[in-house]
Amino acid sequence: MSEASPLEAGRPGESGRVMRIMLSEGLRLRKRRGERFVHVTDLPWELFASDVTEQACERNHGQSLADIARRGGFDAGEAICVLTGQHWRDGMVHEQQAHRILYMMRHLYRRGVLMGRQISVEAEVGAIQGGRQ
């Protein structure tokens, strides 16, 4: 049985591809201890599929998104910087906060509200109105 590539592992988006999100040694230790905390291990590839994210990846890492994926993915703070098009020095957030943000982004994507760098207000309003019926 062959091992899944970093581009295909985890819970897929529409393409079946994901970007892995790495945990720091401190969070890996907490996870091994059985502590519960919000963390994200992967994100749908579609969230990264834009010219802005590709440019931010090249600027911040000197590599393409595909190269980063093959090498194991981003840490949570790096992912936030790439997704928002920020330089890593300007946009780094605390790791646990970054995981919370990524968790929310993944949730919005799965609801059909967040698509790449766009948020569908119509989809969110429809979801809210649908919950009231």
For the whole model, what pTM was predicted?
A: 0.72
- Please give the helix or strand (H or E) that residue 57 lies within, else none: helix 51-61
Pick from 82, 77, 81, 90: which is nearest to 65 by CA?
82
Tens digit of each residue's pLDDT (9 = 90 or more) over 51-109? 888 888 888 889 999 999 999 999 999 999 888 888 777 767 889 999 999 999 888 88
Q: Where are the domains of the chain?
A: 18-132
Grouping H, G, I as helix, E, B as strand and the rest as coil, residue 2 is: coil
Give ∠ CA 37-6-38 in degrees, rounded to 5: 10
Using 50, 70 and 90 to split pLDDT, how confident is the model at 16? confident
Tokens 């997704």 belong to residue: 83
Strand partners, 115: 118
d(CA 78, CA 86): 9
